[in-house]
Structure 1
Amino acid sequence: MNAESHDSRQFHVSAAERELRLRFIGFTETDAQLLHELEPVVKPHAERIVDAFYANVALHPVLLDIIERAGSTVERLKAKQRTYLLEMFGGDYGESYFARRLGIGVVHNRIGLGPQWFLGSYAGYTRMIVPLISRRYRWRPFKAERAIEAFNKIISLDSQLVIDTYVHGVTSELSGALSDYTAFVERVAAGQLDSRVALPANKELARLGLRLNEMTTSLSEMASRTGNASHRLTSMVTGLLDAVGVQSSGASQQAAAINETTSTLEEIRAISRQTQEKAETLGVTAERTRAEGERGAEIVDKTVHDMELVRAQVGDIAEKILALSEQTHQIGEITGTVNSLAQQLKMLSLNASIEAAKAGEAGKGFAVVAAEVKELAEQSQQATIQVNAILQDIRRATDKAVMATEEGSKGVDRGTQMVQMVGDAMQSLMEAIREAALSSQQIVAAVRQEGIGIDQIATAMREINNATRQAVDSTQQTKQSAEQLGALSSEMLDSVRIYRLES
């Protein structure tokens, strides 16, 4: 702090305060007169007293250092010290005296000369001046005592003023430093981190100010780092939110696709089940058709066998036609048998037609054969009717009977051939039916395997769907955390923006 600010620390003592202090030490007009009477006694010795005073100062390097740092010299100070000494015996102890004494105290306080040194100088003055007073009034001991008492009173008054000046200086210095530090702290609290406090002359206060400046520098660096970290954190959170948004959108789309795929799989599984049911029904039908086909083949074989019997019987008729009249009864029985066979063949052909109709396209050929068999059965029946008629007229038309027998034999041959053809057709149909049954079984097995595979895929898709839902939930939680982190970053930036950092 400059000299002007130090000089402003000098305080004024009012007239009432001066009167109170003088009365407190018992200083009267008589004391003032006694001191003034001593001026001629002290003045001749003033140079010697001042020289002795500074000779003692020279013994203490710390005092010489204070004088040098104050920009003064011992010779210059001797003149001022002589004036100061003689003013103690000037006789005027009013306002101007107080002001000069307080001013000296301010200067001493400003250059760092503590009261211990200034008060110590009074002991030197007392040691050298009291003997002068004693010699002056050696024949008047009472007055000498009164003069020495007056000298001690003015020494006491000067000591009070020095102490008051020092205390007021220290208090003012502390008050000024406190005011400066308070204003500085308020500026820092307002965000002016580029502000610095001026360091006072007092070492302890300067050390405190230095620590305050260092603390503010550290706070400025911390705020700067916090701001930079907040900016980086904001950028990172923005990138994280963008990534989370993309991930959330992708996960939602994936979840929608998985749901659609799962629905499609459910439809496919339902269709597969229907297909399996139809395939199983087809297998049952094919198996039943195969069984019926085998039965039809057996019937055809039996029919062929019966036709062979008919052919043998017709042969017998041809051989025995001459004895027809004698064997009319047997022929009647045979024609009855033939008629019965024709009826059975007709029924077989009817059953074959029904089975052919059930076989669909594969049974069309068999239906034709069945129709032929039916026709042959009807012809056989008609033949038996004719045979019966012939039996009635056998005696009248033997020749005609022989011819009819021959025609019957030929019809039997044709019927046998037709039945053989039906048998061949039935064998082919049986092979087709067996293959169809085998294929239907394979279809059933394949559809079952397909259903198992679809079930496995559906299960896997459900697991994927659950995992996707968890991923979507996790993404939402991550987004919420990122938003909270972004809000925290914004709060950090807002808290840093109030500070004005160093450029």
Structure 2
Amino acid sequence: MQPQETFGRGGLNGFLDVDDLVDRIELDEDEIAWRKEFIGFDEADEQRLAALEPLLQANAEAIADDFYENVLHYEQTRAIVDRSPKNVDALKQTQQAYLVSLATGDYDREFFKNRARIGKLHELLDMPLKQYVGQYGVYYDLIMARLNERVQQQVVDAIEEWAAERDTEDDGGLDRFVGALGLGGSAEHESDGLEESLEETVRDAIDDGMMDVLSLLRIINLDMQVAVDTYVDSYAQRLEDSIERRERLAREVETDVEAPIAELHDSSEVVAQRAEAISEQTDSQATGITRAAGELNEMSAAIEEVASVADEVSEESDRTETLAAQGVEAADDALDELAAIEDATDRVADAVDTLANRTEEIDEIVDRLDELAERTTVLAANAKIESSRDDADGSETMGIIASEVRSFAEQTKSDLEAIEDAVEAVRQDAAATVETTEETVARVDTGTDRVRETVDSLEEIHESAQTTAAGMEDVAAATDQQARGVEVTAETLEDLSESADTVASAAESVAAASQQQTASLREVRESVARLTEADADDEPPVYERYD
């Protein structure tokens, strides 16, 4: 079994179809030939690698040990090793086989197919590409140290061979060799440097060693290309799967959101219209609230004026209450006076009755005096008559008596007439007094009733005034409270007005945002539709490929 067939046979191979892999990365004979030509890998390189097999065989174990010592030193790479189905010893053996296979391969499609499998296995272990490519740097360090020794040995061997050849030509071989090195010697062998033949020998030996290094670097480069292709293929597969999922999802999303987006578009237009209507309504509301606030301010001023008038009315009501109370007291005094007047009137009536009785008695006396006067007159007449009949002295005396009696009678009669006239006047005055007294009594009775009614009214007024005063106090308090309430309401309305202005602005913003939303939804709908419009035959530029 070839060395390249002894590695890469772990448990992960069951998850890998290598033929399909190399087909996807287009690793056919022509592609391999092109890559070899591109980096200058030819049969000479194959021969040189074959010549390196003993070196690689001899150092494979040491290189593998050093390689995994470096790998296990880092946590990230150690985690990859822990995920491998092989243990570290098995991995070291695989690494030794891989190293030897670099110099023993046929470098055909099968060789690179095996390299593709190795790269894919590392990718299946989730080894990052930076680690996979980075481990070639570890190879360079480990392999080049051995190659450096080989090149140095080749130079030494070439110099010894050159010296041996010169040593057989003459006896002064050592001096000739020293002279060839430019280290001095006899005058005839002095030189400014290495002898041309020795320099050429050294250069040829170094060049041959570097060509060996270059051949090894070329095959590692080809190996690295294939490994990177497997990673890129994996990334491309993931990207294609992601694109396919995205397209499938886009189709599903388009199908799922087409109706909702249409509905949302329609509803957004409705919202925009309603928001615009709300904005207009809010503007109207703000205007109304501002007007109401102004009216409330005026009402507040009117209420303050009413409160002031209520205070004045309350004061006037207090004064009315005081006057009513005084009126009640005066009415009570008037009732007392009326009672006294009524008593006096009753006494006057009694006096008038007494006067009337006495007038009647005077009438009777006058009647008697009148009768006495008439009788005196008669008597005087008779005395005069008699005096005319008697003697002169007697008649004279009788005449004088008769004259006196007559004069008395006349005077008495005259007085009686005057008394009678006076009595008549008294009677008339008494009658008038009685009538006036009766009228006064009637008026006093009426006045008393009215005074009583007035007192009752005044008492009612007093009670009403007290009630009115208390009510006016309540009205004043309520008016003050109402004024404060109106002020608070006015302030609230001002706040509401400002709030309404803010709401109006917000509604305008909502309307604008809703219109923008409608436009955005239209763009989203168009964008979602474009997700599935891409040509299925167009491949995304995943990575640049050499054709």
TM-score (norm 1): 0.37
TM-score (norm 2): 0.34
